[in-house]
Structure 1
């Protein structure tokens, strides 16, 4: 971890809290409190994955947009709505599939079929 911060880093801190909830707290809970603890554990897992995968995904996302010729998601969405990419179906499908896969890798990687 670069200065001015010392170890542990954000990912390690989030992982420690998630593991504490999973290992030491969850078993003692029931009902609504257990449900909310499970939600918190899931959220912490998402944060861990975003910290780990996010920078690389952001760079790949920018590259995909650039390759398609758009500065941002809003411009891409507008072009899709307007039919401007109808003649680039295969290229668009590949880019959108990769974008969704990256989102799933963070949100819930169990839905990936790798």
Structure 2
């Protein structure tokens, strides 16, 4: 069962997109100053939520697989393994860290990605 099977249409991602679009199209042009700034922040936050809902499950699965390849159970375990010198494959570690940062940027601000 998918979330839309239980909750019908519109799905949560569609609702978030609709609110973001409303803020961007109707509210932003009509406000100034502090309210305009906070409206822009809200638009950006809703964009992040949309991207996390869309990309997050696949990103989490790939991240868990990379961590498993390094022999750790999660980010805290990875940090401990690095501190303790238990990670012996530097190339795999760098790749895992680069991919983790890339995933975060894909959600937070994909404009920062250069490729």
TM-score by length of 1: 0.95
Deviation at 1:83, TM superposition (A): 2.3
Within 5 Å, give how 1:19-30 maps onto structure 2: 19-30=21-32
> How many angstroms apart in 2 are the aligned matches of 1:14 and 1:40?
11
Corresponding residue of 1:43: 45
Aligned mates of 1:8, 1:96 — CA distance in 2: 36
Structure 2 CA distance for aligned equivalents of residues 105 and 73 of structure 1: 19
Aligned length: 112
TM normalised by structure 2 equals 0.94
Q: Distance in 1 between matches of 2:83 and 2:75?
A: 12
Q: Which runs of 5+ in 1 are unaligned?
A: none
Provide structure 2 residue ranges, at least 5 long, that are not aligned to the other structure: none
- Match in the other structure for 1:55: 57
Taking the aligned partners of 1:83 and 1:68, their CA distance within structure 2 comes to 12
1:1-20 paired onto structure 2 within 5 Å: 1-3=4-6, 5-20=7-22
